[in-house]
């Protein structure tokens, strides 16, 4: 049958998406081919072997498949064999199963085995075109997502993404400290990724096969936290009906992550210090000391040195926990990472939701870069996830992100005051991004170093 062989690619339409039509009925193959040839580079096949041969050579992103194929066109097993073989070669292929209206159970079985969708006979071309467009759109989104992941792979590290010098310094510190068992204290604002740093240290360490046990010291009342950390024996207190291991004990051989360590009560600070010194614990109500081998990583978003000055945190505990201190920079100081993270998140959430979002408007990118991000990466992720779900257009706008699109001086400022407020914000952010290095900050702002000096003097910004 001549139409079972791949047609010669059309030189006038070299960029058309490839579509494979698999049907044992020659008349249907021909009708579909001529109905769709203006929109797609169409390939046809009438049996499983030809279909797989064409698929292997052309790798179409989408194909239609009639389950009834020779040698037993009244049966569906040959069609299911074809479906399985195609998806084994490329699981990303969007296979649209063509089925009769009284064969819905076969269609549902096909979807369960990985088909993208099903379409009932008799075939309505306009309806089929809608299904095809949707399939190709999703295929493109998934392809862009995979390409983005490949492109940023060099800027990612143990689940963290970033190309800025600030975050690359963190990656370097993780690699160094992971080879030791030294306690680590990670500091940084809420949502900046301190737990991701702790998990990266664990995965890079010799303890990677052990447990990673996390506990938020600020989320559990003091009356329960001691039992959560150290465990208890049966009858140790009212309601202690059974013996229970604490988080420290369950981390045996692995890593214990103590988040919000600054919220520990003075009593628990003493007990934790004793554990860090002796590597032994006693469960509540117990008399037996238990030897513990764990690596401890703590995190805080508070100033522990100030807490020590105020008598709220023990100095000896601070130095036990902070043998190595890793400071995680806030998102606003990670130059260039905001757009990189936002695009990666958008690609992931778009695929998860199967929608049509393809990017950001220029205003949205500007809003992302100028927002102060008090909630850091967690805030960025939440805003983009919500925007992907709620957006109406094909690109996210500042309104979708619930951002104002740039700086919005308040109504109480006159034009001169608003201009000075904007200048002050831009200069301060440039100085923060470049750690006070004036030459680099001036280049960031697109001005000369003397002009930056004048601006700083006018705005009352120190040269530290």
Domain extent for 350: 332-401
**264 occurs within a structural domain:** yes
CA distance 18 to 59: 8
Q: 282 and 174 in one domain?
A: yes
**CA distances in angstroms from 50 to 42, 45, 133, 341, listed in the order given:** 14, 6, 25, 44
Q: 211 and 285 in one domain?
A: yes
CA distance 427 to 433: 10
**All residues at 6 or more sequence positions from 195 whose CB lies less than 8 Å from its CB, including other chains:** 214, 257, 259, 299
Q: 244 and 311 in one domain?
A: yes
Domain termination site, one of 150, 183, 215: 150
The answer to whether 107 and 97 are in contact (CB under 8 A) is: yes
The answer to whether 284 and 226 are in contact (CB under 8 A) is: yes
pLDDT tens per residue across all 464 residues of the chain:
444 344 444 444 445 899 999 999 999 999 999 999 999 999 999 999 999 999 999 999 999 999 989 988 888 899 999 999 999 888 889 999 988 767 778 888 888 888 888 888 888 899 899 999 989 988 887 777 666 655 555 556 888 888 888 999 999 999 999 999 999 999 999 999 999 999 999 999 999 999 999 999 988 888 789 889 998 888 777 777 788 888 999 999 999 999 999 999 999 999 999 999 999 998 888 888 899 999 999 999 999 999 999 999 999 999 999 999 999 999 998 888 998 899 889 988 888 887 778 888 888 888 898 888 989 999 999 999 999 998 888 889 888 998 875 444 444 456 666 677 778 778 877 887 777 788 888 888 888 887 888 888 777 776 65
> Any bridge partners for residue 257, and if so which?
214, 297
**455 occurs within a structural domain:** yes
Q: What does the pLDDT read at residue 433?
A: 77
Q: 242 and 132 in one domain?
A: no
Domain termination site, one of 401, 423, 449: 401
Q: What does the pLDDT read at residue 266?
A: 92
Q: 245 and 127 in one domain?
A: no
DSSP, res 244: B
> How many Cα atoms are found within 13 Å in the side-chain-facing hemisphere of 62?
27
Q: 138 and 233 in one domain?
A: no
> Each residue of 401-426: pLDDT tens digit?
988 754 444 444 566 666 777 787 78
* CATH (domain of 397): 1.10.8.60
**410 occurs within a structural domain:** no
Q: What does the pLDDT read at residue 324?
A: 96
Give the count of domains, the chain.
4
* CATH (domain of 66): 3.40.50.2300
Q: 316 and 186 in one domain?
A: yes
Q: 312 and 169 in one domain?
A: yes
**137 occurs within a structural domain:** yes
The answer to whether 442 and 434 are in contact (CB under 8 A) is: no
Count of Cβ atoms closer than 10 Å to residue 306 Cβ:
11
Count of Cβ atoms closer than 10 Å to residue 453 Cβ:
13
Q: 436 and 424 in one domain?
A: yes
The answer to whether 254 and 293 are in contact (CB under 8 A) is: no
Domain termination site, one of 274, 309, 329: 329
Q: 255 and 354 in one domain?
A: no
**82 occurs within a structural domain:** yes
**34 occurs within a structural domain:** yes
Q: 263 and 243 in one domain?
A: yes
**464 occurs within a structural domain:** no
CA-based end-to-end distance of the chain: 80
CA distance 290 to 282: 6
Flag whether the pTM goes above 0.75: no
Q: 291 and 206 in one domain?
A: yes
CA distance 455 to 442: 10
> Each residue of 136-156: pLDDT tens digit?
988 887 777 666 655 555 556
Strands 324-327, 184-187: pairing is: parallel
**354 occurs within a structural domain:** yes
Residue 316 in tokens? 């000896």
Q: 423-430 long-range CB contacts below 8 Å, 24 or more apart?
A: 423/455, 423/459, 424/459, 424/461, 427/452, 427/455, 427/456, 427/459, 427/461, 428/461, 429/332
């Amino acid at each position: 049958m001549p139409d079972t062989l791949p047609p010669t690619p059309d030189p006038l339409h070299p960029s058309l998406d490839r579509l494979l039509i698999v049907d044992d009925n020659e008349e249907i193959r021909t009708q579909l081919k001529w109905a769709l040839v203006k929109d797609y580079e169409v390939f046809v096949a009438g049996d499983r072997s030809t279909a797989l041969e064409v698929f292997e050579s052309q790798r179409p992103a989408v194909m239609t498949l009639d389950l009834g194929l020779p040698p037993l066109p009244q049966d569906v097993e040959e069609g299911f064999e074809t479906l399985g073989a195609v998806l084994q070669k490329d699981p990303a292929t969007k296979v649209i199963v063509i089925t009769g209206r009284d064969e819905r159970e076969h269609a549902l079985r096909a979807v369960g085995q990985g088909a993208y969708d099903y379409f009932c006979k008799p075939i309505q071309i306009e309806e089929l075109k809608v299904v095809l467009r949707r399939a190709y759109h999703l295929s493109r989104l998934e392809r862009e997502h995979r390409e983005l992941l490949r492109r940023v792979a060099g800027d990612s590290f143990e689940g963290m993404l970033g190309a800025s010098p600030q975050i690359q310094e963190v990656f370097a510190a993780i690699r160094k400290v992971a080879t030791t068992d030294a306690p680590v204290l990670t500091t940084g604002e809420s949502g900046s990724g301190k737990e991701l740093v702790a998990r990266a240290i664990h995965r890079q360490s010799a303890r990677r096969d052990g447990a990673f046990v996390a506990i938020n010291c600020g989320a559990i009342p003091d009356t329960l936290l001691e039992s959560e950390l150290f465990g208890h024996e049966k009858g140790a207190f009212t309601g202690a009906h059974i013996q229970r291991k604490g988080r420290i004990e369950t981390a045996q051989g692995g890593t214990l992550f103590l988040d919000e360590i600054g919220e520990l009560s003075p009593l628990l600070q003493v007990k934790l210090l004793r554990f860090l010194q002796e590597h032994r614990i006693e469960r509540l109500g117990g008399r037996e000391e238990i030897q513990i081998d764990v690596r401890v990583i703590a995190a805080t978003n508070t100033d522990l040195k100030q807490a020590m000055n105020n008598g709220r945190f023990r100095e000896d505990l601070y130095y036990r926990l902070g043998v190595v201190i890793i400071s995680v920079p806030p998102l606003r100081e990670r130059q260039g990472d905001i757009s990189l993270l936002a695009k990666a998140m958008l690609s992931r959430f778009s695929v998860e939701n199967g929608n049509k979002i393809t990017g950001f408007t220029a205003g949205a990118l500007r809003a992302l870069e100028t927002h102060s991000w008090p909630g850091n990466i967690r805030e960025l992720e939440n805003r983009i996830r919500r925007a992907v779900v709620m957006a109406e257009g094909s690109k996210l706008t500042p309104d979708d992100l619930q951002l104002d699109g740039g700086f919005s001086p308040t109504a109480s400022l006159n034009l001169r005051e608003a201009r000075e407020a904007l200048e002050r914000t831009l200069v301060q952010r440039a100085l923060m991004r470049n750690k006070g290095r004036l030459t680099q900050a001036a280049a960031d702002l697109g001005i000369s170093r003397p002009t930056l000096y004048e601006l700083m003097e006018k705005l009352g910004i120190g040269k530290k």
